């Protein structure tokens, strides 16, 4: 009899843990300004997990009450003016890590947590400004430390999603005008090689897996009417271990078309 109960409990556990999960990433470019858009997004898409970047808020000014009132728990690692990351979730977040361990960095760009048995690693990878610049060197120092950290995380967690603003367009198919962007920041060979190294740790680019031939842009420059002209690039990604199987994905471009939008649109993936 106890054996049978144990079996039933196990079935129940699996049933609970095999619910589809909607996981999403959005560089909001100031959560202060974008909070109304975020709250609308939560209502419209009902995501299970949301990774935010560029909150641009110190922790004491984070709008946790508004987010909690919308039915989400939230953890955050922010600073004044720049950077800042947060994770919203229906379920509680555990094993929280903020910043890359052993990489001394005043910029708040990484937040990891385990939610519903899935390891979530939210990143705001440095932009790099210009190929060869000081900030470009910082981007690579950051990426090297991040790659090494991710390798360790993947050894500990079979079910893992690393998501966020990578500031890298992995291929020419991720760029509206590959000629104009060739060798430029976010599209240089070295950056793409680093992206491939991260993939080669054993991750799947879930959006590309589901849409091998669509543009799937996630960022459009504020300048030159770039969004209206469809001048976008795909730099926001959700990479997952093979156990995390993507069933559907999309970019909520509508949020880029609104009044006072972020320059990024939310990217979402439903996992089986």
Indicate which residues carry an active-site annotation.
124, 165, 264
Q: Does 140 contact DNA by CB under 7 A?
A: no
Q: Crossing angle, helix 134-156 and helix 189-199, to 10 degrees?
A: 10
Report the SS3 class of residue 20.
Answer: coil
Q: Which of 18, 20, 32, 257 binds DNA (CB under 7 A)?
A: 32
Q: Mask of contacts with DNA, 220-239, x by CB under 7 A? A: --xxx---------------
Distance (Å, rounded) from C-alpha 114 to C-alpha 49?
A: 11
Phi, psi of 268 (to 5 degrees): -130, 150
**Minimum distance from residue 229 beta carbon to DNA (Å):** 12
Where in 69-108 is the site for DNA (CB under 7 A)? 80-82
Q: Which of 41, 47, 49, 56 binds DNA (CB under 7 A)?
A: 56
Quick one: 44 or 177, whose CB is closer to DNA?
Answer: 177
Q: Does 18 contact DNA by CB under 7 A?
A: no
Distance (Å, rounded) from C-alpha 114 to C-alpha 77?
A: 16
- 263 among the known binding-site residues? yes
Q: Which of 9, 18, 20, 129 binds DNA (CB under 7 A)?
A: 129
- 191 among the known binding-site residues? no
- Stretches 120-128, 140-148, 195-203, 245-253: which one binds DNA (CB under 7 A)? 120-128
Phi, psi of 8 (to 5 degrees): -65, -40
**Minimum distance from residue 76 beta carbon to DNA (Å):** 15
Q: Total binding residues for DNA by CB under 7 A? A: 18
Q: Which of 33, 96, 243, 257 binds DNA (CB under 7 A)?
A: 33
Do residues 263 and 36 lie in contact, with contact meaning Cβ atoms separated by under 8 Å?
no
**Minimum distance from residue 224 beta carbon to DNA (Å):** 6
- Dihedral angle, C-alpha 94, 145, 165, 195, nearest 10 °: -120
Cβ-Cβ contacts under 8 Å for 82 (sequence gap 6 or more) = 54, 56, 107
- Cβ-based burial of 156 (10 A; exposed 0-12, middle 13-18, buried ≥19): exposed
Phi, psi of 205 (to 5 degrees): -80, 95
Q: Does 151 contact DNA by CB under 7 A?
A: no
Which residues make up the interface to DNA (CB under 7 A)? 29-30, 32-33, 56, 80-82, 126-129, 135, 167, 222-224, 260
């Amino acid at each position: 009899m106890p054996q049978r109960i144990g079996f039933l409990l196990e079935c129940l556990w699996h049933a609970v843990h095999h619910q589809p999960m909607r996981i999403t990433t959005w560089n909001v470019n100031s959560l202060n300004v974008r909070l109304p858009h975020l709250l609308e997004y939560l209502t419209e898409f009902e995501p299970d997990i949301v990774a935010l970047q560029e909150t641009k808020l110190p922790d004491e000014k984070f709008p946790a009450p508004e987010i909690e009132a919308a039915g989400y728990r939230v953890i955050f690692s922010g600073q004044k003016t720049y950077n800042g990351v947060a994770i919203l979730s229906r379920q509680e977040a555990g094993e929280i890590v903020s910043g890359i361990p052993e990489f001394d960095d005043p910029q708040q760009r990484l937040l990891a947590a385990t939610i519903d048995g899935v390891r979530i690693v939210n990143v705001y990878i440095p932009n790099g400004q210009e190929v060869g610049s000081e900030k470009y060197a910082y981007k690579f120092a950051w990426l090297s430390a991040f790659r090494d950290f991710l390798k360790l995380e993947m050894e500990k967690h079979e079910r893992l999603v690393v998501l966020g603003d990578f500031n890298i367009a992995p291929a020419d198919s991720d760029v509206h005008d590959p000629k104009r962007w060739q060798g430029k920041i976010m599209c240089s060979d070295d950056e793409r090689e680093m992206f491939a190294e991260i993939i080669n740790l054993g991750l799947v680019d879930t959006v590309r897996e589901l849409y091998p031939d669509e543009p799937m842009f996630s960022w459009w420059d504020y300048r030159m009417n770039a969004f209206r002209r469809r001048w976008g690039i795909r730099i926001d990604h959700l990479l997952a271990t093979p156990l995390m199987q993507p069933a559907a994905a999309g970019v909520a471009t509508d949020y880029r078309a609104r009044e006072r939008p972020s320059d990024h649109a939310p990217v979402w993936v439903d996992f089986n």
